[in-house]
Amino acid sequence: MLKEKLREFERGAVVDDCVRVLEEEVASKKGLSGFAVKGAFKVIGAVKPGFIRAVVSGLLDEFVAELEPFYAEWVERDIGDFGAHINRRPVPVANALLGVTDKRAERTVHQTAKKAYMKLRPSAVDHVTAALPRVGNLMNRYIED
């Protein structure tokens, strides 16, 4: 199980790596959509100090649960690395991960963060699929035997 693999590591380190990947992905955005993503990220980060890290930490278990079927499929097929596997299934993986953030956005009390998220949601699948190579590389570091 993916959850068991990740438990072998200190949670804070995993969260720090996830935040770093998120920051790298945001920084890499270009053009008008990149401007919108960077602006929203800045707004969300300004909600309170450490907010983005806290959100990532709070969502990590749900993200892992959503990745679990893809991990099981990868283990069963025993081909390539996990990052390559999720990159071959970009839209289903993106939709699974976005299901987590959609649920959180519905119940958040942070209206500024919700508003920023909802503005970007129509293009979110594209942004998440673009981030999957970084996500895959991150996951590979933690699940390699």
> Which 3-state string (H, E, C) describes the chain?
CHHHHHHCCCHHHHHHHHHHHHHHHHHHCCHHHHHHHHHHHHHHHCCCCCHHHHHHHHHHHHHHHHHHHHHHHHHHHCCCCHHHHHHCCHHHHHHHHHHHHHHHHHHCCCHHHHHHHHHHHHHHHHHHHHHHHHHHHHHHHHHCC
Residue-wise pLDDT tens digits, 8-44: 899 999 999 999 999 999 999 999 999 999 999 999 8
Chain centroid to CA 142: how far?
15
What is the residue-averaged pLDDT of the chain?
94
Task: Domain ranges for the chain, please list them.
Answer: 2-143
Q: pTM, whole model, 2 decimals? A: 0.90
Residue 54 has pLDDT above 60, yes or no: yes
User: pLDDT at residue 90 above 60?
Assistant: yes
Residue 134 identity (one-letter amino acid):
R
**41-46, long-range: CB within 8 Å, 24+ apart, which pairs?**
43/112, 43/113, 43/116, 44/112, 44/113, 44/116, 44/117, 46/112
Higher pLDDT, 102 or 77: 102
Task: Output the pLDDT for position 80.
Answer: 85
Locate tokens 């693999």: which residue? 5
- Tell me: pLDDT of 145 over 60: no
What is the pLDDT, as a whole number, of residue 118?
Answer: 95
